[in-house]
Structure formats: structure tokens, C-alpha cells
Amino acid sequence: MNLCSEADKKKIVLISSDRSLVGMGPKILSSCLIEQGFKPTIVLMESDGDDFRNFLWKDLEDICNGASLIGISSMTAGVKKAVEIKKHLKNKCSAPIIIGGIHASLSPESLINDFEMLCHGEGEDLIVDLARRLANNEPYDNIPGLWLNNSGRIVKNQSAPLKRDLNDYPFPDYDLRHQFILEENRLVPVTPKPTHMRLDSFSIMGSRGCPHNCTYCCSPKMIQEFPWQKKVRHYSIDYLISHLKEVRRIYPEVRRFWIEDDTFFAKGFDEILNFSQRYKSEVGIPFEVLISPWTFSRDKIKVLVDAGMDKLIIGIQSGSENVARNIYNRNISNEKILEIIKSLHEFSGMAVCYDFIVMNPFETQEDLIYTIQLIKSFPAPFIVYSNSLAFYPGTKIYDMAVKAGIAVKGRMEYTEITHGYKILRNAKMRHKIFHLIILLMGGSGNNIKIGQVRRSFISDRFISFYSFLNKRLGLISDFIVSMIAGVFLFDARFKKTLRNILGDRTYLKLRKLLKP
């Protein structure tokens, strides 16, 4: 066995296996470790596939060489890759490896057999305590929230609340000098300019948790697992504004912020007003937020628009009140939703985006038609975001799907439209023609078309025709839609590959040149 050299007791490696370059979990933990004198390295192993085929593993081995602890952060979609990383490093490095992230908290039993350590719950205190005890050669088998696999003997230490208020923890670690990213199957140091980040939509959290109980969301399960946590824990406005200013200081290239709270309007009006006044004077670049219909407030929108909010996302999820109430546990009428939408469109200069969940196998033909009709009724212009329904372990809808015999494998990510095509092509679902129409309606909506669909093709007459095809020729119709989805999937993947090869600027120039 080619073990790494003797460990540097202060060296920690934090790896993200998620399909994202944000890596907020490792960055939060890194700042906590730095605060206590440790020397963390962050590795963002974002990749499109579900494995690391053709990856040069020696790059990761070299980074981990001499580390005293290796941490892997993973959401559900990145678990397979997290296990792959662990299995490889196990035979190359002597440092213990711990898995953490939302999946480890929601479904620890599914991971503990693959890892020797697991963080169950928030990791800010745990990672520092574990690193300190390892550095001092002290026992660590009683750390709150730490699960251990000692050759098959599982130790489950009860999790505990964070020792400090959220506002007393440091900002995430944005120092690029000890970060690596995956590019063309190699791990390379991050360049001084954050070209790998979304500078036009830099993500920051203003709170943790959600006040609602939607069946597809992990928040209710998190409250069940960790009952001492409030449904929503807000960062103070002082902390949030200081955080935003710190990002602008470190990355002056950032052009706008995406404040990624589950619902930003869970904050009271006085907090929103305070934030708006300070954001306008101290930060001063455009930003966007996500809200829910229940937290909608015209007064809150008014002060935020004045502060620079140029985009608002509101979760609708389905045009069927049956699905909203009985499948998603979202008790709100379409009448109320349309009332809110009418108010939203009174604010000029603010893009309005409506979030919908697609590829839901519980939906009937009537449910799907209700969604099409609701979207058609929105005043233009608007944007539709289509996100495929994910069955995350620990959520109520996951249990509903398993009970109904629905295949949940491959349905554990809430992601871009190409995943919807993949589901349409492969999954055993009914009413595929309507699922495809709604999927294609994702995008900008105007008086001519919605997404890629011309309004004339979703007129009442065409809807009746699609209903006839679905009822009388269901199997044939579903087969044809599966083939069409395969073509769309190939086209989307080809465009993404071409863009990666040519680069954004050359790709966009080529598209403009070839556009008829």
C-alpha cells in the first residue's frame, strides 16, 4: 500500500462531490477551521457524469498527501461520486475520511457502511473538534453528531445544537489561493480571478430552513431529526450586509447577487426594510430572491425593487390544485396565485420567474392540462423555470413514491431541463405528451410563445387533440415522445459539449453567425 507521508496535523482537505462549483458547505467549514489555526484546502470536483471516468487520480492523491483529515461534502446526487472518492483514497492515504452534507443528515444509514466517519447534522463545531482531537492524538469517539464505523460496529453519537449563534460564525472561505477545481479530468488551482463562479448570480444564503412543509422538501425531515432547530434561522441584517460587502471586496467582478433563501420573505417587513435601505447604500448592485405565495407582500417587493431587486422567483410548482394540496401539501388556490401574479406585474423593470415542478408521475392528464392552462393565463412577459421532481430520501414524497412502486433511482436531483428529457426517454410514465409540452414551456414567455412552444400549439383545440392521442393511442404516443426526448437530450448534450470545447465567447459568436 502506497500511503501518504506522515500527516501535517494542521492540514485538512475538504472535497465537494456535488455537480456545482459553489461548494458552500466546504467553504463554511474551511473558515471555521482557519479560525482555529488549521490549514484547509478546498477541492471542488464538479462534473457532469455520475462517476470520475478518465480522471487523473494522482492529482487528488498529491493534494491529500500529508493531510490529517479528509472531509467529503455531498448532496444526494453526488453520493455515488463521494463513495468513489473515498474508495480510491482509502488505499492511497492514511488520513481518516468523513462524509457530511445534507444527504448524510437525511439518510445516514445509507452511507455509514461506506465511510468510517459521518457527520450527522451541521458540521461547523464537529469538524473543528474532530480536527483538534486528531491533532492532539485524543479520543474522538464521543463527539456530538459523529457517527463511526469501527469495522462494522456502528457508533451513533447524538447530534447537538450549534455552540454559537449563526451570526457568530465566520463568513465562508472565499480565498482562492487554496482551492482546486476539476477541469478536463485534472485538478487545477483556481485562478486569481473567479472565472469558474457565476459572477452574474453569485449565491449567498440569508437564512437556513423553510417555514413550509412541502412533501418534496427536506426541511420537515431536518426538523424531525434535529428538533432544537427553528424552522427558519435568519442571519442578522448586519451579518448579511457585511457578508455581501465582503464578497464584493474579495471579488469586485461580481455583477449581481442571488440571495438563495428558501423564501426570503420569511423575514418580517421591518427586517426587509432595513435590508433594503442598507443594501442600496452599501452594496448597490442588482440582486434576486426566491419567495413563496404564502409570504408574498406587495410592500416588501416595493422596498426591495427600490434597493435594486431586478428579478423575483416565486414557487408555483403545479397548476393543479389537486396536486398542490394532496401531493405537495401546498394548500393554496389558483385564484390566489393569479391575484399575486397580477400584483407582481405591476412592478416594471423586475423580471418575474415562476418555478414549476415537472416530471411528476403522480399527475393525471387533467392535472397536467391545468398546469398548461395556468401558465397560459400569466400576463407577459414572464419566465418559467421547469425543474424535474426529485425523490430525496427522507422526504414524504420519497416514501409516497416507494409505496406506489415508482422507481426512484435516478430521480434524486432537482436540476436542469436535460434531466427532464432523460426521465421522459427512460422512465415508465403515463401522459408523456403533456409532460413534454410542459417541459418545453420552460423559458421566456411572451404573447407569441412560451419557452419553445408557440401559443397556437397549446390552444384549446390542440389540447383536445393531444388528449385524444393520449387516451386512444397512449402507448404509441408515449413511445414517440420517448424518442423525441432522446433527440432533445442528444441536442442539449451536444450543445453543452461544444460550448465547453469552444468557450462561451466563441460559442455565442458561432450561434449568432449561424442563426437564420
Note the pLDDT tens digit of each residue in 29-45: 999 999 999 999 999 99
**What does the pLDDT read at residue 107?**
92
pLDDT, averaged across the chain: 89
CATH 3.80.30.20 fits 195-488, yes or no: yes
**What does the pLDDT read at residue 331?**
95
Mean pLDDT confidence for 508-513: 54
**What does the pLDDT read at residue 492?**
58
d(CA 388, CA 380): 24
- The percentage of residues in the chain with a pLDDT greater than 90, rounded to a whole number, is 71
- Asked whether 10 and 36 are in contact (CB, 8 A), the reply is no
Mean pLDDT confidence for 6-26: 85
Mean pLDDT confidence for 8-28: 89
- Asked whether 98 and 71 are in contact (CB, 8 A), the reply is yes
Mean pLDDT confidence for 194-203: 78
User: DSSP 3-state assignment of 447?
Assistant: coil
**What does the pLDDT read at residue 506?**
63
State the pairing for strand pair 232-234/207-209: antiparallel
**What does the pLDDT read at residue 514?**
46
Q: Strands across the sheet with 309-317, in order? A: 202-204, 257-259, 287-291, 309-317, 351-358, 382-388, 443-445, 449-450, 453-454
Q: Find the Cα–Cα–Cα–Cα dihedral 326, 327, 328, 333, rounded to 10°.
A: -40
**What does the pLDDT read at residue 23?**
87
When pLDDT is cut at 50, 70 and 90, the band that residue 201 belongs to is confident
Cβ atoms < 10 Å from Cβ of 460: 10
Mean pLDDT confidence for 327-337: 96
- Please give the CATH superfamily to which domain 8-176 belongs: Cobalamin-binding domain (3.40.50.280)
When pLDDT is cut at 50, 70 and 90, the band that residue 414 belongs to is low
**What does the pLDDT read at residue 491?**
56
Considering only residues 71 and 393, tell me which one the structure prediction assigns the higher pLDDT.
71
**What does the pLDDT read at residue 496?**
60
d(CA 155, CA 141): 8
Does 422 have pLDDT greater than 80? Answer: no
Mean pLDDT confidence for 355-381: 96
**What does the pLDDT read at residue 413?**
66
**What does the pLDDT read at residue 334?**
96
Considering only residues 195 and 263, tell me which one the structure prediction assigns the higher pLDDT.
263
- Asked whether 227 and 160 are in contact (CB, 8 A), the reply is no
When pLDDT is cut at 50, 70 and 90, the band that residue 511 belongs to is low
**What does the pLDDT read at residue 470?**
84
**What does the pLDDT read at residue 298?**
95
**What does the pLDDT read at residue 443?**
93
**What does the pLDDT read at residue 425?**
76
Domain ranges of the chain: 8-176, 195-488
How far from the centroid of its chain's Cα atoms is residue 410's Cα?
16
When pLDDT is cut at 50, 70 and 90, the band that residue 4 belongs to is very low
Does 314 have pLDDT greater than 60? Answer: yes
- Residue 279 cell numbers, joined: 443594501
**What does the pLDDT read at residue 198?**
75
Angle, to 10 degrees, between the axis of helix 432-440 and the axis of helix 365-376?
A: 20
Note the pLDDT tens digit of each residue in 230-260: 999 999 999 999 999 999 999 999 999 999 9
d(CA 84, CA 97): 12
Cβ atoms < 10 Å from Cβ of 284: 13
Note the pLDDT tens digit of each residue in 96-139: 999 999 999 999 999 999 999 999 999 999 999 999 999 999 99
